[in-house]
Structure 1
Amino acid sequence: MAFRPFFLLFFFFIFGSIPFVRTLTDASDVQALQVMYTSLDSPPQLTGWTVSGGDPCAESWKGVTCEGSAVVSIEISGLGLNGTMGYALSSFLSLKKLDMSDNNIHDAIPYQLPPNLTSLNMAKNSLIGNLPYSFSTMASLNYLNMSHNLLSQVIGDVFTNLTTLETLDLSFNNFTGDLPKSLGTLSNVSSLFLQNNGLTGSLNILIDLPLTTLNVANNNFSGWIPQELKSVENFIYDGNTFDNSPAPPPPPFTPPPPGRSRNSPKHPGSSGGTHTAPSSEGSSSHSNKGLPVLAIVGIVLGAIIFVLIVLVAFAVCFQKRKRKNIGLRASSGRLSIGTSVNAEVQEHRVKSVAAVADIKPLPAEKMNPERLQAKNGSVKRIKAPITATSYTVASLQTATNSFSQECIVGEGSLGRVYRAEFPNGKTMAIKKIDNSALSLQEEDNFLEAVSNMSRLRHTNIVTLNGYCAEHGQRLLVYEFIGHGSLHDMLHFAEESSKTLTWNARVRVALGTARALEYLHEVCLPSVVHRNLKTANILLDEDLNPHLSDCGLAALTPNTERQISTQMVGSFGYSAPEFALSGIYTVKSDVYSFGVVMLELLTGRKPLDSSRVRSEQSLVRWATPQLHDIDALAKMVDPTLNGMYPAKSLSRFADIIALCVQPEPEFRPPMSEVVQALVRLVQRASVVKRHSSDESGFSYKTPEHDAVELPF
C-alpha cells in the first residue's frame, strides 16, 4: 500500500490540472479573423467574434473550429452576412475548410487565399471579377464551389497544380470564352459543373478527365461532342449548339464515302469498311474483260469535261465584270453596318464591365451616375453609394478657424491640408482641393472618386471619413495621423531620440508594402497610387505607417503646368517609363516603393542638389553598390550608429534592387515584396528575443508579422 500516496498525487496532477489548461489561438489566426469580422461589417450573427482581443479557440467563436491553437475550419454559411472576404485570408496557414456560402458577400475574390485549404465554398453570394491565379497554389484543394455568383471574364489557367481536386462547380456565373487548358490537368476530378454561363468552343479539353458527372448545359459550346464523354455516367449538355449527336471517329485508312450522313450509326468504322471493299473488288473483276470499252468511255468523258471547263471559265469572267460595280456600291454599305454593330457590341461590353468594376473604373470605361446639379454647384445625387460622411462648408470652416494659416499641416498639387478640431473633440485632416487644379469634367466626377476612396479599407491606408461638395467647394476629410510623415522623420528629426531604429524601418517598409499590395492585388480593378513618396507615408505614435492620397489619381491635374508642378515634388520617385512615355502602372508604384526603401536604408533624399553631382540622384548613386557588402555598409544612414544586423541589411538591399529595375516587367508584384519583408521581420523578431531592449522607437505590436491589425 506504500504506492497509494504516489498514485493519488499522480492522479491529482494529471486530472486536477485539466480545468486550468486554456487554449491560446495563434496570433496570426486571431488577427485574420478580426480582419474578416471587420470586412463583413462586424455582424451580430457571428456571436463571440470581436474586433480586437479574444481567443477564438477557447471562446468558441461561431463557426470556428480549432485543432490545438490553430484554426482549421470556418463555416459561416447562410447567416445573411454582408461585406467582403477581407484581405488577410493568406494568414490562415492551418485552415482546411472555408465555407461562406449563401450570404451576400460582394466585391472580388481576394488575390491571396488560405494556402492549405482542402475545401472552399463561396456559392450563392455576389462575388464579381474573375478567379485569382492564387488558386493554382492551393495544391491540397479537393472541393471548390464558386457557383451562383456574378463572376465573369474568360477563365484563366488557374487549375494547373490542383491534382487532388475532385469537385469543381463554376455554374450560374457569367464566364465567357473557351475552357482553359489547365482544366485538362485535373487528374482526379469526378464532378464538374459549368452550366449556365456563356462559355464557348469545344469540350475536347475534358476528354481525359475521370468524370462521373459533367454538366455543361446552357452555354455556347459548339462542334462535335467528343466520343469519350459518352461514357460519363451523368452527362448533361442541352442548351448548346453542338453538331447533332456525338462525333464519329474518322475511318482509319480511307476517307468517308461521299454519301455518308452526319447521323451515322454508332459504329461507323466497320460499316464504312464493308462498303469500300466490295466496290474495289468489283472494279478489278471487270477490268480484264472490258479495257477497250473503258478506254472509249474515258476519251468521251474527257472531251465533255474539257468543253464544260471552257464554258464555265467564260461564264465566270462575264459575271465578274457584270458584278464589279455592284460589289463596289454595296461594299461601303456593308462596312458601315459592320462598324456600327461592332461599336454597339463594344459599347455593350464596356457597360457590362463597368457594372461589375469596384474601386476604380478602367480607363476605357465611362461610368455615368445619375446626378442633379444645383445652382450653387452642389451635387445632390449619385447612383454609386458613398460611405463617407457629408460635411457642410460652414462646419469645416468652423473646425479650421476659417482655414487659417495656423491650421495648415501640409500642401500638395491638389491643394492644402488643414488640421481641423471638431466640437465633439475629434481631430481630422481636411484637404481643400484647389478648383483650378480640376477640369469641369473632373469636378463632375468628384463624387465618384469620393465613393471609390471611401471604400478603401486597410489598416495601413489613411481612412477617408468624409467630404464636402457644396457651393463649388471640393474638400476631403481624413483621419488625422499626428506623428508626422516618414519624410520629416528621416530628414528633419534633430533629436537623436527620434531616430528610427533598423527594425522600425523594416516594419515601416512592410506596412507600406501591405498597403500597396491591397491597392494593386485586392482592389478590383487595381488602384495605382501614382504619387508614392515618404511625404505621403504618415506615422502614428507607435510608428505604424499610413499611406495617404490613395485614390487621388482620379483627380489628376488638368494642365501641363500643374502636372509638372506635381512631378517636381516626386520626380526622384518616378519610374523611367513614366518620364519617357507618360505611362504609369502598378509596376511604376513598385519602383517608387523601391526609392522609399532606399531612403529608409540611407537616410538620403531621392534628389539632393547639395551633394556632389555623382551623388545627387539617390537611385543612380546607390543601385550599383547594393550587392557590394563593403559599399553597402558605407551607404547606411549614419544616424543608426551601426545598430543593424548585417544579413538583414543585405536582404533589404536585395529587395530594393528588384524594385528599382529599369524594366517594369522585371519588377516583382507587391505580394512578393510583402513576403520578403515578412521574412525579414520574422528573423529580426527571433534575434530580438535574444538581445536587450532597443533604444529609440519600437513597435508595440506582437513579434511576428503583426502589421495587419483590425480596422
Structure 2
Amino acid sequence: MGRLELLVILILCEVCLQAWILNAQNFSCDSNDFKALQSINDHLESRIDEWKVDANSSGYSNCCDWVGITCESSWSLGLSGEFESGRVVKLDLSNKRLRGNLSESIGSLDQLKTLNLSRNFFGDSVPLSLFNLSNLEVLDLSRNGFSGVFPVGLNLPRIHVFDVAQNGFRGLVPAGICNKSPFVQSINLAVNFFNGSIPLEFGNCSSLENLTLSSNTLSGTILEDLFKLPKLSLLNLQENRFSGQLSNNISKLSNLVRLDVSCNQLSGSIPDVFHTLNKLEYLLARSNNFTGKIPPSLMNSQSIVSLSLRNNSLDGRIDINCSAMIKLVSLDLGSNKFQGSIPDNLPFCPRLTTINLSKINFKSQIPESFENFSSLSYLSLSNSSIYNISGALHILQHCSNLKILVLTLNFHKERLPSVPSLQFKSLNALIIANCKLTGTIPQWLSGSRQLQLLDLSWNQLEGTIPSWFGSFQFLFYLDLSNNSFSGELPRNLTALESLAFRNISLEEPSPDFPFFMKRNISARVLQYNKIWSFPPKLDLSNNFLRGQIWPEFGNLKKLHVLDLKYNNLSGSIPATLSGMTSLETLDLSYNRLSGNIPSSLVDLCFLSYFNVANNNLSGKIPTKGQFQTFPNSSFEGNQGLCGEHVSPCQISFKIPSRSSMKSKRRGTIIAMAVGIGFGTIFLVALMYSMVLRKTISKDVEPEAADNRDGPKDVESRLLVHFQIHDNNKELSLDDILKSTNSFDQSNIIGCGGFGLVYKATFPSGKKVAIKRLSGDTGQMDREFQAEIETLSRARHPNLVQLQGYYTYKNDRLLIYAYMENSSLDFWLHEKIDGPSLLDWDARLQIAQGAARGLAYLHQSCEPHIVHRDIKSSNILLDDKFVAHLADFGLARLVPNYDSHVSTDLVGTLGYIPPEYGQASVATYKGDVYSFGVVLLELLTSRRPMDMCQPKGNRDLISWVFQMKREKRESEVFDPLIYDKEHADELLVVLEIACLCLSENPRTRPSTQQLVSWLDNFDVNVLLQS
C-alpha cells in the first residue's frame, strides 16, 4: 500500500471519528450525567434557562444540546454500554454571571475533561468530589468568590491547566497539583490568600510553562526545584514575602520569557547567569533588597526589552553593552547606590526610549554622546548630582525626540545658560527645579512652543518674567515660584490658550513613567508619573513682582491653581476673577492688596483653598458659597476686614440691633430710640459686658470657677475629651502640643475644610491625625458641632473614626484615626509608581470598602448622612489598604425621611453632579454620582479634569462616555490593570460607574445596590437597567 493510499485512509478514519463524536450530540446523554447537571442547576440562585427538559422527550435526552455542554459518545471514550449514550466531557459556563454554590454532584461527571466556571459569582468552598475527576484536563475557577482550603490530596492525574486566580482561597498551596500529574502546563493561583512556602512537589511539574503565584502572602525562599523545569516561560512571584537570594540555578530556565519578583524581600546579589536565558524579555525586580553589582551577563542580554531594578541597594558601575542589548526599550534603575558616571554608551541602544536614573549619586556631567540619542523620549535624572547645566542643555538639545526632561535637584548654584542658539522644539515638559540656579529666564526658551509643563521653581533666578510665555499654545502648568523675579506681573499670562479654552490639540499624554516629585501647600512630597496628572496651574509665588492683578485673569476658565503669595502686588482684587470657574486654589496672601474682597468670588463653586492674609484689605468678608468653609487664618493680617472670620462688622447706631441686646440672663428689654446720646450707649455697652461675663462664667468648668489660688496653666488643665485612648487616659493640650511639636509645619499631612491636618505621635507610639480648626464665630461653632455630632454617630470599618476632640477659646481640634497610606488620590495621581502598585484586586477592594462606608452613611447611620464631598482624596487607606471615607466637614445630618439637605453649594471640581448647578440641594444620589467619578479614577488612573489631555479627552466623564459610544471601552482602562484576565470585571465596574453618572438622579443606583454589585458582581439587575 502506497503512502498516498495510507494517508487517504487515515483522513477518512479521522472524519468518521469526528462524525461519530458530533453525532453523539443527537443521542440521549447519560442518565447520571443528566442528574448531575440538574443538581448543578438547582444549586444556582438563578437557574440556567437554556437547561430545560423537553416535555416531548424521555426526560433527559437533550442535555448534550444544552448551552455550555459538549458530549462524546461512550463508544469513542472506550466505555462499555450503548453507543447512543452521550457522556459530558466539557462544561463551559464561563462569564454567565451565575451565582450560588457548586453542587457536590459535579463529581458525578466522571468523563469530564474541561471545566470552566470562570468569571461568575460562585461562592463557598469547592466540593471535594471535584478533585477526584480523574479525566479532568482543564480546570478554570478564576474570578469567582470561592473560599476555603484545598484538600491535601488532589486526584487530578491528567490536569493540564489549573487556574483558581482571584478568589478567596487560603491556607497552603495545594501540593497535589503537580504530585499527581506529569502533564500540568499552567498553574495560576494569583490574588488569593495562600500562605506558607512553595510546595516541594511543584518541582515535579516537568511540563509546566506558566506559574503565577503573585499577590498572595507566600514566604520563605523561592523553591530551588522550580529552576529545574525546562519548559517554564513565565514565572510571576511579585507581591509576596519571599526572602533569601535569587538562585544561580535560574540559569536552567532556558525558555523563560518573563520573570517578575518585584515587591518581595529578596536580598543578596543578582546571579550572573543571564547569558543562558536567551528568551528573557522582561526582568522586573524592583523594590527588593538586592545588593552588589548588576551582573555582566544581564548588561549584555540580547533579549531584554524592559529592565526594572529600581529601589534596591545595587552598587558599582552601570556597564550596559548597547551593541548587545538591541531590544532594550525601558531602563529603570533609579534609587540605587551606583557609582561612577552616567553611561556614555546609552545612545547606542537602538530602541531605548525611556530612562530613569534618578536618585543615583553620579557626580558627573551629561555625556557628550547623548547628542546622538535620537530614540530618547523620556529622561529623568533628578537628584543625581549632575553638574554643568550649560553643557547638559547644549548636548540634550540634539535629542530630536526628547519629550520629557527632568533635571531637578542638580547643578547647585550654577547659572542657567542664555545662549540664543539653544533650542528644544519637541519638549513637552521641562523641569529644572530646586537647583538654586542663577541668571534669568533665557530667550532660547521662547522657541519651545510645544511646552505643556515648565517648572523652574526654587531657584535664584531674577529679572522679569518674559511676556512671550503668553503665546505658548499648549502651556498649562507654569511654576516659577521661590525665585527673585521682579517687575510687573506679566499681563500676557492671561492669554494662555490652554488655560482659557478646551479646543487645543495637545500632544499625546506621556506614558506611565515616574519622573517628578514636588511639595504641595502642606509641605508633603507629591510624586507624579504622568504629565496629565499635574493640575492646570500658575505659581509665581515668593518673588518680588509688583503691579496689579490683571482683570483678564478671569478669562482663564480652565485654571485650577493661581498662587501669587509673597510678592509686592498692589491695587484691588478684580471682581472678574470669578470668571475662573474651574479654580480650586487662590492664594494672594502677603502682598499689598487693598479694597474689598469681591463678593463675586462666592460664585467660584470649586474653590477649596483661599488665602488673602496679610494684605491691606477692608470691608466685609463674603459669607456665601465656599467662603463659609475657609479658616480664619485665610483673612488675618488685614486690619480693615470684618465679618464672621475676624472681628464683627460695626453696626449702625441709628437703630441699634435688637438681637445684639438679648441675653438669657437679662430680665428686662431695653428699648432703644434714635437720638440717645453717647452716655446711654456707654451704659448699654457696660450692661452687655456684665451679662456676657456672667453667661460665660456659667460655662466654665467648676474646677475653674472654684480656683481662688491664683492663675494656673490653662493649657495643661483643660482636657481633651478623648473617646478612644490607651488606658482610657484623657489628654491635656500639653500632650497634643508635644506630640505635634507645637503644630510644627513638618507634621502637616493635609489641608481640610477649616484648617490644617497634623500627624501626632504620642510617647506610647500611638499615631493620630489632628484637624485644627480656628475661630470663635458662630459659623465655626456650628461647623465644629456638626462634625462632632456626625462622626460620633458614624461608626463603621470603612469610615475614618473620630477618636477625640478639644475646644477652648479660638481652638477647635478634631482627633482622628491615623491612616498610614495617605489617600487614594495620592496613590493614583501623585506617588511614583503608585498606580503600578495598586493592581486590580487592590483597586476593587478599595471601591468595595468605600461603597460600604457610603452605604452605611446613607442607610444605617442614625440619622442618615449625605457626605457631599466624595472624591479620591477623601478616601484614605490604612496600613492594609482598606478604604476609609474621610472629611465630614461638608456633611450634613439628614432627618430619617428626607432624601436631601438644602445648603449652599460646595464640592470639588469634577465630582459635583450636574443637578447641583440648578439647586443648592445635596442628595444621596449626588453622592452616588461622585462615587461614580471615583470608580472611573480607579479604572483609568486619570483625574476627573486633565487639561493636558488631547482635545475631547480632558473631561474624564465625557471622554469615557464617548469611548463607550464608539465601542472602544477597552481603551479607557489603565494599561497597568487591563489584560484578558481582568477584562470582564473591568467592563462590569465601568458599567456600574456609568450608571452612577446618569444625568437623571432617579436612575442612579442606591448605595446598597453598589455594595451588592461590587462585592458579588451581581449584574443581572445592572444589565436590566
Question: What's the TM-score once normalised by structure 2's chain length?
Answer: 0.27
Of structures 1 and 2, the one with the larger relative CO (CA 8 A, separation 6+) is: 1
| Structure with the larger strand share | 2
| Structure with the larger helix share | 1
Question: What's the TM-score once normalised by structure 1's chain length?
Answer: 0.39
